[in-house]
Amino acid sequence: EGSVVQLLDIHNIHVMRDSLRKLGDLCVDIDDANWLTNVESTKWLEHIKLIITGSLKICGAVSRGESAVVHCSDGWDRTPQITATAQLLLDPYYRTTEGAR
């Protein structure tokens, strides 16, 4: 079968941090009539979607008994985002109220 390389186009930590800052700024006034549009413009939900999508790919591979290597160009932002989320998804204990404590 061989190896498969999948590029996820997840932005770097600086872009994600800026997006989170913009989202946080919006949370000061959630009564704004354009709030949902403004949340969309932060791109935060797109970033989270890419992280979850990548994590689900890792979960699928591990569940099938395959090996997975996660690597980003820097190795200090996207790698732990994907791997930590995949670990949480793969361990049923942490998907319980007891495990969340």
Active centre residues (catalytic): 72
8 Å CB contact between 12 and 74? yes
